[in-house]
Amino acid sequence: MSIINFSKVASVYEKTALVQKSASEVLLDLLSIKNGDDVLDVGCGPGNVSMEIAKMTKGRVVGIDVAPGMIEEACRRGTASGNITFAVRDAADFEFISEFDVIFSNSAFQWFRDPDVVIKRCFNALKLGGRMGIQAPATRNFCSNFVAAEEKIRSSPVTSGVFSDYRSPWLFLEKAEDYARLFERNGFRVSYSQIVQEETLYSVDKAFRIYQSGAENGYLNQDYYQVLLSSDYVEMFRELFRESLSEQAREDGMVPIVFNRIYLVAHK
Global confidence as pTM: 0.90
Query: What was the pLDDT predicted at 81?
Result: 67
CA–CA distances in Å: residue 127 to residues 103, 118, 130, 230: 10, 16, 5, 48
Interval 233-246: pLDDT, tens? 999 999 999 999 99
Quick check: 204 pLDDT over 90? Answer: yes
Each residue of 114-144: b (16+ CB within 10 Å) or e? ebeebbbbbbbbbeeebbbbbbbbbbebbbb
Average pLDDT of the residues of the chain = 91
Domain spans in the chain, listed from the N-terminal domain onward: 10-267
Q: Give the CATH number of domain 10-267.
A: 3.40.50.150
Question: How many CA atoms, within 13 angstroms, populate the side-chain half-sphere of residue 24?
Answer: 24
Looking at residue 72, its amino acid is E
Query: What was the pLDDT predicted at 256?
Result: 97
Query: Angle, to 10 degrees, between the axis of helix 115-125 and the axis of helix 176-184?
Result: 60
Sorted by sequence, the CB contacts under 8 Å of residue 130 that are 6+ apart come out as 100, 101, 102, 103, 267, 268
**What whole-number distance in Å separates Cα of residue 85 and Cα of residue 79?**
7
Quick check: 13 pLDDT over 50? Answer: no
**What whole-number distance in Å separates Cα of residue 96 and Cα of residue 119?**
12
The answer to whether residues 46 and 73 touch, using CB atoms and an 8 Å cutoff, is yes
**What whole-number distance in Å separates Cα of residue 250 and Cα of residue 202?**
10
Instruction: For residue 10, name the pLDDT band (cuts at 50, 70, 90).
Output: very low
Quick check: 27 pLDDT over 90? Answer: yes
